[in-house]
Structure formats: C-alpha cells, structure tokens
Amino acid sequence: MPPFTPLPYNLIMGKLEDLDMAVGRRNFSKRGLKRILGQTRRAIQDYEMIREGDRIAVGVSGGKDSLTLLIALRKLMDFYPVSFEIRAVTLSMGIGEPDYSPVKQLCDDIGVEYIIEDTYIGKIVFEARQENNPCSLCANLRRGALNNAALRLGCNKVALAHNRDDAIETLLLSTFYEGRIHTFSPVTYLSRKDIHVIRPLLYVEEKQIRSFIKDNGIQVVHNPCPANGHTKRQYIKDLLTDLSLDNREIKNNIFGAIKRSGLNGWHE
C-alpha cells in the first residue's frame, strides 16, 4: 500500500466554503450538512481512512446515523481530492417487515448503488438462540455479513456510522460491564478478509445528526429489533444525559480522554 500523504487543510476547507449542498437530485440545508462534512473530512484526514481508488461499502440500516453517513460520503465524492467510490448495503434481518423504499429513493436521488442483503440474523438471535443479551451476538453476525457482502461487491473498505456519542458510550459499557478500558477503533484492519473498517462520523455528535435528519425531512426506517430502546447502551445514554445536567462538559471530557489515551489507534 502506498504511503499516505495528508491533504492540505486549506485546500479542502476552501472547497467546502464555496460548495452548494446539492447531492445528486437532492438539496440539503447548508448549515447542518456543512458542519457534518467538515467533521467527517477531519476524521478521515486524522485517521487516514480513505485513499485513492478505494471502493467503500457503506453499512446502511436506514436509521439516522447511517443515512447521514451515506449522504456525507456521497457529497465528499464531489470535492475531496482523493477519488473513491461508495455503495450502500442494507442487511435485512429476517424479522419484522421494514420498508426500505425510502432508502432506495434516497440512493436513487443522490446517485448511489443500493444493495439489500437478505439474512436470518434476527431469527438466529431471537428465535434459535433466544439470547437474553442479544446485542453482542447480533453485532458480530451483522459485521460478518456486511464484510462478506463488501467483498462480493469488490469493496476494500466498509464504512460504519458510529458517531462521537457511540464512542463514549462504548467506553463506559466496556468499563462498567466488562471490566476493561476499551472502545472501537477509528480504523480496523481485518487481516482474514483483507478489508478495512472505517468510522468517518467519529467527530459528529448524535444531536447534530438528529437535527440534520429533522431539518431535511429525511425519512428513516423503523428498527424492527425487539430489544431496541431496552439495552444497556440505552441505560448508559440516559445516564450520560443525567450527568450532563450537573457537568455540561462531561462528554467532551470523556471524548478528549479517549483521544489522549492512545487506545486502539486513537490520537489527538
């Protein structure tokens, strides 16, 4: 792999200042998308996530985070000095009857190929295994299915929509329930499959994503998971909300600690 050459900050930001917020046939609010694009671009630069000629499978559940990631990466293709391609991939979980037509319409509008991979992950987790704590098994199965789909599509990277809040919550989950200091890496190389997993939304706060989706009237797909909203992650999310009432800087402090720790490839 050739050495990574950082792109000049003023070159990228100059283009971003002058850019309209049209993505294919869709127009988005300039204020919300511009900030998200800036933070996404910064994360990609800081952690060398994208190189010339990359073909990236974007994991798209149809939720707010994955749709925001899809739009941001598609818009970056218009001005980012490194040329890359993206494809949107949804894993059908085999439970419920989610309607992915809004995702299909969005992909058509912004000019991204859309693929739905049918799986039985939901049935395995909730019916065959009847897991009491299903999130870990489900996440592992989804990661494997998405990585395999990416390889079939000829992609060398997978982009996941974990945001800043997710990194903070994962650190606390690992500390509270596993007794270890851990959160996911900005970039992970999977040697068995020769594929990189990247997380370009690492600097974007969840509240920004919610506002962007709402302000632009983007239709999200309902999560059919029976455990949705009743997980330990939701407990941590609620706990952080309560703690923030007393200390408004608590999330900033935790995220800063993650970056300074050097944990799993993180850095300032």
Q: Give the model confidence (pLDDT) of 233-245 as tens digits.
A: 899 999 999 999 9
Q: Give the model confidence (pLDDT) of 36-69 as tens digits.
A: 999 999 999 999 999 999 999 999 999 999 999 9
Mean pLDDT of the chain: 89
Say yes or no to pLDDT of 9 above 80.
no
5 band by pLDDT with thresholds 50, 70 and 90: low
226 in a structural domain: yes
Instruction: For residue 195, give the nearest of 253, 152, 161 by alpha carbon.
Output: 152
User: Count of CB atoms within 10 A of residue 15's CB?
Assistant: 14
Q: Give the model confidence (pLDDT) of 166-199 as tens digits.
A: 999 999 999 999 999 999 999 999 999 999 999 9
Considering the chain, what percentage of its residues have pLDDT values greater than 90? 71
Record the tokens describing residue 76, joined without a space: 């970056």
Instruction: For residue 49, give the nearest of 187, 202, 147 by alpha carbon.
Output: 187
DSSP 128: I
261 in a structural domain: yes
pLDDT score, position 17:
62
pLDDT score, position 15:
58
231 in a structural domain: yes
2 in a structural domain: no
Q: Which positions ≥6 away from 71 have C-beta within 8 Å? A: 23, 28, 33, 106, 110
Q: Give the model confidence (pLDDT) of 203-235 as tens digits.
A: 999 999 999 999 999 999 987 766 666 688 899
The predicted model gives 158-164 an average pLDDT of 98
Record the tokens describing residue 165, joined without a space: 């809040």
30 band by pLDDT with thresholds 50, 70 and 90: confident
pLDDT score, position 8:
55
The predicted model gives 113-126 an average pLDDT of 82
pLDDT score, position 2:
47
* CATH code of the domain in which 111 resides: 3.40.50.620
pLDDT score, position 64:
97
The predicted model gives 13-26 an average pLDDT of 73
Say yes or no to pLDDT of 18 above 70.
no
Q: Across the chain, where does the E strand assignment appear?
A: 22-23, 26-27, 54-59, 84-92, 113-118, 157-159, 187-190, 195-198
Considering the chain, what percentage of its residues have pLDDT values greater than 70? 86
Q: E strand or H helix at 178, and its extent?
A: helix 164-178
244 in a structural domain: yes
pLDDT score, position 122:
73
What DSSP string runs through 12-66? Answer: HHHHHHT---EETTEE--HHHHHHHHHHHHHHHHHTT---TTEEEEEE--SSHHH
Give the Cα-Cα-Cα angle 195, 58, 84 (nearest 5 degrees): 75
Residue 103 domain boundaries: 9-265
1 band by pLDDT with thresholds 50, 70 and 90: very low
3 in a structural domain: no
Contact between 237 and 169 under an 8 Å Cβ cutoff? The reply is yes
pLDDT score, position 129:
63
Domain count, the chain: 1
Say yes or no to pLDDT of 12 above 60.
no
Residue 63 and residue 237: Cα distance in Å, rounded?
Answer: 17
